[in-house]
Every structure is written in C-alpha cells, then in structure tokens.
A and B are shown apart, each in its own frame.
Chain A
Amino acid sequence: MHTNGQNIIVSGGSRGLGLHLVSQLLKNGNKVATFARTRTPEMDALDKEYGDSFHFASVDAVDADKVNGFVAEVCDRFGGRLDSIVNNAAIGQDQLLMHTDLDTIQQIVNINIVGPTILIRAAIKRMMLQGGGNICNISSICGSRGYAGLSVYAGSKGYLDAMTRALAREVGEAGIFINCVAPGFFESEMSSVLRPEQLNTIKRRTPSGSLSNDENIFKVVDMVISGTTNMQGQVVFVDGGITS
C-alpha cells in the first residue's frame, strides 16, 4: 500500500478496472470520487460502505462544464484538496479501420482523448494552485505496439503517452507528477472480445505466462500516484513482459 489519506478522482470507476481501482483506493484509507455515465449497483454498495469518503456522479466525460463542476464539487466535499487523479475511462475497439464507421471513430476519440484531456486540464489548475499532485493515465501497450483491429484505440492510447511526456515538461516544475500505466491484454471486459485461442496465443507469447489482472494494475497505479517515486513523464508497462 502506497496511498493513504489522499483525495483521489478516478474516471470511469463504476465497473471493470476502474471499479477495482476505486474499491482498493478506498480500502487503503483514501477518499475517492468517480464518475461515469450510469450508476451501477456497485456504486450504491460503496456509498453504503464508505459514506462521505466516497462520491459518485453521473457525468458525461466529454462535457467540459460538467467535468469542471465535478472536480470543484469533489474538492469541496473532500476538504479543498485534490491529491491525485486516475484517468481510467475508455472504450475499446475490435474492428479493422476500413470497417469502422465514423460515429465509432468519433466516440473513441471523444471518450479516450477528449475526456481525459478535459479532466487533466481541470485537475492541473487545482494542483498548480495547491502546490502539486499526481496524475496517472491508464494507457495500453497498444499505444506503443501495433495490433490489428485496434488502430483508433491504439492512436488514442499513443496520444495519452505523448501528452503525458509533454505535460511532464509543462507542469513538472509545479510539483505535478504525470505518468502512464500501460497494461497489456488483461482479464477484462475489453479482452473478453478475444477468442480463447487468441488469449492462449497471447499467454504463450508472454514471458510471465499469464495475463495481468486488475490487482496487478492497481499495485502499479497505487505506486505511481503515491507521490513518492520521483517518476515523471513515463509509461510503465504492466504486461508480463510481452513488450520486452
């Protein structure tokens, strides 16, 4: 455990990896706020278990006014400070580009690029005035390696990697640490579109012999936002060594 007593925003925390991150960060003694389009039963359960230490709101990640309002509301609820954000919300893709319709492309760009950019912009304004903070972007090995059927998704993750490096230069001096955690194919709703033989091939090519899981990724995210590493502008792969 690295984080404790922090005020943290995790985007897209109502299910999947985001839900795991939110749950574990709460368990570690942090106050955590998350947003997604729709409330899930898991949000009600966390509300009940953690009370004022947890906050959920239905927010469209690409609505800048709503996201700015959410960040302001969270700071008010949690005592004024925003220690860390985790940009987790994303949608996947499983289509060759030539067969992907424009609406789908636009949706991936909006959720995976515009959304995180809006949240980071709101967060760094807060962090700048409070003297620092931590930003963790959930990227993907697809941002650095080529995989067919994932072109737009890969481009969106490459964007996060590149923006992370640029922002490290822009705001690093203000005590804001920004890094990416890039999972490989991991056991998630997104990888559930892969056929069993595809998953077996990936496992066979992975030096560790296994796919990463939510807890593997959480452990690295927890370290990245701890503010104790002096790691800045980096992309950390959590992929069992498949990109090594």
Chain B
Amino acid sequence: MPSICLYLHLHQPWRYQKYSIFDVAKTSNYWYEKDYYGKQNNERIFKKVAEKSYHPMLDLIEKNLRKYPEFKISLSISGTWIEQAEEWDPSLIIQLSRMISTGRVEIVGETYYHSLAFFEDKAEFKEQVRKHSDTIARLFGVRPRVLRNTELAYSDEVGVWASQIGYTAVLAEGAEKVLGKKSPNNVYIAEGTSGLKLLLRNYRLSDDIAFRFADKTSKDYPLTVDKYFAKLKKEKGDVINLFMDFETFGENIWKSTGIFEFMNELIYKIVKEGNFMTVSEEAYFCKPAGAISMPKTVTWADKERDLSAWFGNDLQKEATRVLYDLLPLARSQGGDVYDDWRRLSTSDHVYYMSTKYWSDGDVHAYFSPFDSPYDAFMYFMNVVRDLEYRLHN
C-alpha cells in the first residue's frame, strides 16, 4: 500500500469589523470588534475554534506522536493564526513547539498573511514568505523547506519561483484537469524547474474525510476506519496525499460525529499496517513519475479548482486593485499602516465577496462573517478608504 502523507493547514484571518464610512479618518480600529458576540469578533471566533478544534486535535496528534515513533505529520500555520494564538491562547504555540521538537512534525512554508500576493506583486509575495519563514524559525527553530501557496494556488510560474528560492517541493491540487490519467499518488517534477517536486493532493480521499465524513447522503456514510482504510489500500502509487484544513476536525465536522475517534483509530491502523511520511520525506524518497505542467493556476477551491472564488467577480477584482494601488505607499511608510495593509491582503476577505453561489447559500456564505458578499465589499472599501487617508496624512 502507498505511504500516507497527512498535512493539515492552520489559519485564521484577521476579520475586519463592520467598519462604517462614518469612522473613516476618525478611528482606525479595523480588527477588534467591540461587541464580543459580534460576527466579526476575532477573539471570540479564535477561542471558539481553539476549544472545538485546535486543542482537541493537537492533543490527539501529540498523544499519537508520543505513542508511535512511526507517526509523522506536516502542518502549515499562517502568520495571522500565530498572531491571534499569541494574543488569545499562547498555550497553543507552546504545544506546537513541543510537538515540532520531536522532529516528526514538519512545518510547510507559505505567505505570512495567507495572501494571493503571488498574482499581484511578486516582491510583496517574497517578503510575506520570508516573514513567515522568519517567524517559524524564531518560534520553533526550524525553517520550511517545502512551500504551499495560499489556497494551494499553483502554476508553473509558482514552481519556477519556489525552485529559484531553494524550496525542494511545492504542494498543489491533484485536479483531474491537470492529471488526466496520471495518478495523484506519485511525485512529479515541476515543469520548467531542474527538479522541484510537486506533491499533489488526492482530493477524493481527502474530501472523503473533510467534506463527506458527516454527510448522510454520501454513499460511504457512515465512514468507518475499516471502510476508509480498505480504500487507501486499494490505491496504487507511492504516496497518498491527504491535505486538509485543520479546522475540519471539530469545527467544520463536529466532535459528535465521531471524527476524533475516527482519526485516532486511523492513525493507529496506518502505523500498524502502513507508513507515514512528511512532505520533505515524500519529496526526497519518492521517485518522480515524470513532469507536470500547469500553465493556468489551479487551486483547491470549489468545483472549478481555479482562482474564481477570489477574483471571479468585479467586486473582488476592484477590491484587489484598490488595495494593491496603495501597496507602494504602504510599503514605503512601513509600520502599523503597512501591517494593516498586509492583514487586508489575506485571501479570506475577497473570498467573502464571492457571489458564485450566494443565491444558493453555499459554502462561501457559510464561512463568511458578513450578511452578504455585498456587505463584505462595502466594509472592506471603507477600511481601505481609511488606510488611504492614513497614508496621505
């Protein structure tokens, strides 16, 4: 049976509050909603997710690391997550640090601000990746060797960039439109590079857990470890990449569904009958099965697997344009105003403005702290107006 590479992504954005046009040029409090129970209150949301997901899942992982020397996992942790953990629940950082020191938890590199700056401003992108790497080094004493771009957004250009900086591998979506008949369970060489590895998410098996575990209409429901393990065993290739959001466990899929017991048992089963790999091990040990090219950007979102969830409509394009128009000035001034600019570059903000499925009330709406994509846009623009005012005064 192929090895298993389990990779989980920890991230929380700094949600801007319902910032009124009448606050512009008066107060610049974007991130701290006064009402604790407000929908945009970052502290409340972080503490809630910490209780439901970060604590129980990290405990589960740490316990298994102690029990089984064969168990390994890869994590990515956004800078905005780290800032909020430091502010509201520093014990999470301490626990992560303890886990990373076992040498069996690998940290994947990414932009500090969870941004899509790669597609707007390469210099800013590079700075954000460097800031993330520095932060990880400062807190945990390691530097990421493998990169993921935000939302797993990948194109050949991303590969070339990562290879030039010195990364050994990049994570990407194993989308059918790219793979054709090729399997996501092999490592590939990124087209245009001299040996950068592409690690591709097995979306069917990842989504069996992340999307379908609690879905009563799914044909595998209820998903047992035996059933799932049998599926893993049937797969061909060298390694199965199970890439998921960390919040899947406990936040998106509630504890009451038995998701934690499932993961606990699954880890045991794989330790006993299979083999875990981290992303770097995968890049090092698995023999490439050829090269793969992605001329167009592929992401892990929606059925389109492209950037349309972030830049699909004119609101998103306008918000992005207006924000990046201010970048040169923000960068040259630095300090708080630059930090605020960068927090606004987080991809979640434009995701909330997506109108793709708004009328059907789909996943975009579910994750948004705003009443509608239009509200998200309106308040974003108010914040940007204030930012612009600060830059000119």
Binding partners A and B: no
